[in-house]
Amino acid sequence: MFAYIIPVFLTITVYCYVQHSLHIYNSPKGRYILSVVPFLLLIVMSIFRENIGVDYGGYELLYDNIKNGIQTNAEIGFAFLVRLIIAGPDDVKVLFAIFSVFTLINFIIGIRMLSADLTFSIFLFILLGYYNLTYNAIRYYYALSVVLLAYAFFLKKEYKKFLIAVIFATCFHKTSLIVLPVCYIFRNRSQSQKHYAYLILMAVAAIILKSPIRYIAFKIYPSYLNSVYDGGSASITNIFKCLFLLILGICFYGIVKKNDLLVFCHKLNIVALILYVCCSWIPELSRIGYYFNILSIIFIPDLVKEMKSETNKRIVSVIAVVSACLYYVLFLERAYAEEIHLLPYRTWLFYLN
């Protein structure tokens, strides 16, 4: 467990120092460099891992299948990257290294573009488990990192960049497409009140239209049909997280409604809650929900930043920090389990418990 806790503690400490002691933000390039550099220790841990992650062996097999010309369900972007690696070093470790670097850098840049408090958002990104989850499902989490960048473009009304980013993410995981209709619905700030009616309709439709939605889902990913994942699962943790954010948004709606980013995060959190409550039968539902509740790491710091009351700031910050720390400890305690397989941490050279 300490193989992760110590590097995480060091990383957060460096971010705090950089943000509060070094004010070297004279250029956009400098800001992004200072955003990424403190995370290098955790990036290196991800790059040099070996047999860490529940699907590490599955990706080794997928790599070999593409190499041997066996048909797979891998998206075009992933298959293309594998073929490039095969034509060069031909080592599956390079595949994991490339995804580690670009997934984490995308997340950090996305956070830099969206968050009013970089350190707080990075803290939540790590301690709410998102960092460690990137060790699994490398195609999906790369796509998720690109979607986070897409949200930044969307909120700046750079819709062409947003669309290109989502399509690019789809080249690595087709589920990214779900972002397009949801963002299309929420694109117009002036119709904000109508959006909540749409959310109610979405919840009702999710219950009534179960069969058509299942049909579409399995058309996209037929391998899930009648598999161990066909039956879905309800994540109580994700439901509680969404409820916490919903309560925050309601309690401080006077602040939320004045800020486009906060309103957007609030609505997407409700989308995630609807998915977790009404669509528990969808295979790998947590991953679908993450496209929307990933913005929790932006919503909480930005909401705290907008608060005028120092008491409210302290209360919300303490609740968020304590809850995240508790969650991370519980998460790491389960990390030895076969269905997670993040501990013991292994590199090419040694093992750590």
Distance CA 227, CA 283 (A): 9
Residue given tokens 């058309």 in the structure block = 219
CA pair distance 211, 153, nearest whole angstrom: 34
Mean pLDDT of 211-227: 66
Mean local confidence (pLDDT), 197-202: 80
Average pLDDT over residues 218-247: 73
Q: What is the mean pLDDT of residues 151-180?
A: 96
Work out the average pLDDT over 75-93. Answer: 95
Q: Which helix (H) or strand (E) holds 122?
A: helix 118-127
Is it the case that residue 120 has pLDDT exceeding 90?
Answer: yes
Residues 312 and 108: their CA atoms lie apart, in Å, by 27
Contact (CB, 8 A) for 117 and 76: no
How many angstroms separate the CA atoms of 196 and 17, rounded?
Answer: 41
- Contacts of residue 217, defined as CB under 8 A and 6 or more positions apart, other chains included, come to 224, 282, 283
Q: What are phi and psi of 341, to 5 degrees?
A: 55, 50
Which has the closest alpha carbon to 195: 255, 267, 246? Answer: 267
Q: How confident is the model at residue 228 (pLDDT cuts 50, 70, 90)?
A: very low
**More confident site: 217 or 259:** 259
User: Is residue 57 over pLDDT 80?
Assistant: yes
Residue with tokens 């539902």: 285
Average of per-residue pLDDT across 214-240: 67
Token output for 353: 């418990």
**pLDDT tens, 253-281?**
999 999 999 999 999 999 999 989 888 77
**Token code pair at residue 58:** 């599955």
Residue 25 pLDDT:
54
pLDDT exceeds 70 at position 73: yes
pTM equals: 0.92
